[in-house]
Structure 1
């Protein structure tokens, strides 16, 4: 291990790369998917399960933790690592996105943002300095600058204003962060869906010589093609020696496409949220286990998966748990989904190291498409058992 933050690239395949981030609390293998532990827990999972699946780092949320249980209280209790029994690296986001999406009566100006809690309506202020202070009190290993995230679509003038404000806030976050051996501050590239603004933001952030750079303001409802175009507009302006993090993304297909465009780190609530609502991700694509077709399906989700949730339990049983609203169903489906995501990341790392990333992506996407076609044919057969014989 090391007392410092260090990123190394082990192999490349085009602009895609595999490597590792070394920090005092552990090594993060990249490309990496970070399960989201918004309020000090990856929902429906034990910490030891999350680690056993292959996760090297989890994400915590400044906004939620500052409201409950509170940053100062967290520090008195020994920090987030001890609090949630996760002794490995933790990345915290700055809280800016949640202020935009969850809080009421918010007011944003040069100083920061004031808002009312979505929990109890109490008033709070989040400035760049306070965001960094909170993340320090939590004990986060990787901390994110405070930024303004604009919902798309938006007018170019509004996007440019938010991007420039985010740059000024990045400078203040850099000053507040100072020197913290073993910890890292990441900047966030903004610029909406305007390539020139993305490039301008990236170049300015690189001038701050931060430990890593995130691409923010995506995964907010824009088409996948727009997201990929913004990655392509940003990546050439980011240093190859620093990790690149695409915030809030995404579906398995989003991830494989972004990895092929040079992204190293991802987070998303999708696998855990989907699991709590009856949706699973597997190498056979996405399945909604609420669907009646699974009521008598006596096969497992994936007999070849190492995850017990995938190979031990039948789809019929999982369907029953979901329809009955049983907590065990949420736990098992979340377990399966996070297992699949970590398996996907491991496959991407192996493929890059072997120089066959595009083959791997093609085979993976074809597997999803083939399974979807097969399900469609079975559904048509179930609706029309006679087929075309009487035509």
Structure 2
């Protein structure tokens, strides 16, 4: 059985391209991971998600532990079989969702007790329980259990939270044990303070993980502050391990993160936007519900090869969105995911060819042009 490994193929500035190897297949980096919260990428079949170019999906510990439960998924053969996705899956630890339940949770050194948003039942998540749930799910990449404070926050609050997350990281590592072929990632915290990020990186490196995430960003601090942290945070983490920026982001966030040394990202944005009629194209964002598309026979993006662009007009997509037809969510989600994967492919090629800066300039210039003129 092959083990988990990461190899860098090329760097260009601080941007990197390489391959994460797992027993369930290779992940080309930089990688964008579509989010399959409840064991499905909403409005997509797994084979359609794969057709967009995705090598790996993200599953959500919090949602799956509540429904249908990790124990049930385990009895049914694990998450891969359950959702018909045979390639790698990364599961988050549940920490972020639980932390956002402010009114429904109680936080101690031991872990978090909370009430289910579904039926009000009481649950406890600890580093040990999070590792157990992720083992039952059978995910390939497991995330440490951590606390993610919402920004902006007082520095002493961020520092205390980060130090507890580091203690939880050590407990997660201990509880994870020895699982050949499966990887455990640590999560750097510390808000927007360089010293705290450094302290966190040091603590994680000492414990030792298969990969490292930059956590606690994209939680309300804004792009400028996020890039400010990414200017130094990834460099604090081991060079020879994958670096994962959690919960990011918009296309220009993704490109900016890769330029600063990030290898993996995930975000609900392309799928959630698809369901609300927001479309990402190489020329920026358009809203399909706007009346200007009503009589437009042209595709969303003439250079795009996804089924929505190859086979359907803006006029049709406007009509099915307005009529609340299910095909609207399907086609727009497919298009958005396809576009995000196209960005990743473009960056991998540009980094390999040593022309990442030129690629970036072109990416921003085309986006700045804005959507095609209305008819």
Q: Report deviation, 1:294.
A: 0.9
Question: 1:304: Cα distance to partner?
Answer: 2.4
Secondary structure of the equivalent of 1:218?
Answer: coil
Aligned to 1:272: 271
Specify the alignment match of 1:39 in structure 2: 38
Deviation at 1:105, TM superposition (A): 2.1
Alignment of 1:124-203 (within 5 A): 124-203=123-202
Provide the residue aligned with 1:207 in structure 2.
206
Q: Structure 2 CA distance, aligned partners of 1:195 and 1:265?
A: 21
Q: Answer with 1 or 2: which has the greater Rg.
A: 1
Q: Which residue of 2 aligns with 1:109?
A: 108
What residue in structure 2 maps to residue 342 of structure 1?
A: 341
CA distance in 2, matches of 1:213, 1:296: 49
> In the alignment, what sits opposite 1:320?
319
Q: Secondary structure in 2 aligned to 1:258? A: helix
Aligned residue pairs, count: 375
The CA distance in 1 between the partners of 2:201 and 2:233, in whole Å, is: 7
Quick check: 1:218 aligned with 2:217?
yes
Q: Which runs of 5+ in 1 are unaligned?
A: 383-391
Matched, 1:230 2:237: no
Q: Give the structure 2 partner of residue 73 of structure 1.
A: 72
Looking at structure 2, the residues matched to 199 and 322 of structure 1 have their Cα atoms a distance apart, in angstroms, of: 47
Aligned to 1:331: 330
Partners in 1 of 2:151 and 2:309 — Cα distance?
A: 37
Normalized against structure 2, the TM-score is what? 0.98
Matched residue, 2:299: 300
1:92 matched residue in structure 2: 91
1:103 CA displacement: 6.6
1:55 corresponds to 2:60: no
Check the 8 A contact 1:185/1:210 in 2, yes or no.
yes
Give the Cα separation in 1 of the matches to 2:326 and 2:224.
37
- Tell me, yes or no, if the aligned pair for 2:283 and 2:366 is still in contact at 8 Å: yes
Secondary structure of the residue that 1:220 maps to in structure 2?
coil
Shift of 1:104: 4.3
Task: Output one character per residue of 1:45-68: Cα deviation in whole Å (capped at 9) or x when no partner.
Answer: 000011111100000000000000
Q: Take 1:271 and 1:10, find their aligned partners in 2: how far apart are those partners? A: 28
**Which secondary structure does the structure 2 equivalent of 1:286 belong to?**
strand
Q: Distance in 1 between matches of 2:328 and 2:156?
A: 47
Counterpart Cα distance in 2 of 1:309 and 1:118:
35
Question: Does structure 2 conserve the Cα–Cα contact (< 8 Å) formed by 1:103 and 1:117?
Answer: no
- In the other structure, the counterpart of 1:30 is 29
User: Normalization by structure 1: what TM-score?
Assistant: 0.94
Matched residue, 1:246: 245
Range with greater deviation from structure 2 (175-184 or 229-238) = 229-238
Q: Which moved more, 1:323-332 or 1:301-310?
A: 301-310
SS in structure 2 of the partner of residue 367 of structure 1: helix
Moved over 6 A (4+): none
Q: Deviations over 1:281-327 (max 9, x none)?
A: 11121111111111111100122222111221111111111111111
Deviation of residue 183 (structure 1)?
0.4
Range that drifts further, 283-292 or 249-258: 283-292
Assess if the C-alpha contact under 8 Å between 1:302 and 1:311 holds in 2: no
Using the TM superposition, name which of 94-103 and 31-40 deviates more: 94-103
Q: 1:82 to 1:45 in 2, by over 3 A?
A: same
119-128 or 200-209: which moved more? 200-209
Structure 2: which 5+ runs fail to align?
Answer: none
Partner Cα distance (2:239, 2:301) in 1: 37
The answer to which of 220-229 and 19-28 deviates more is 220-229
Q: Are the counterparts in 2 of residues 57 and 91 from structure 1 also a CA contact under 8 Å?
A: yes
Displacement after TM superposition at 1:107 (Å): 0.3
Identify which range, 96-105 or 324-333, moves more after superposition: 96-105
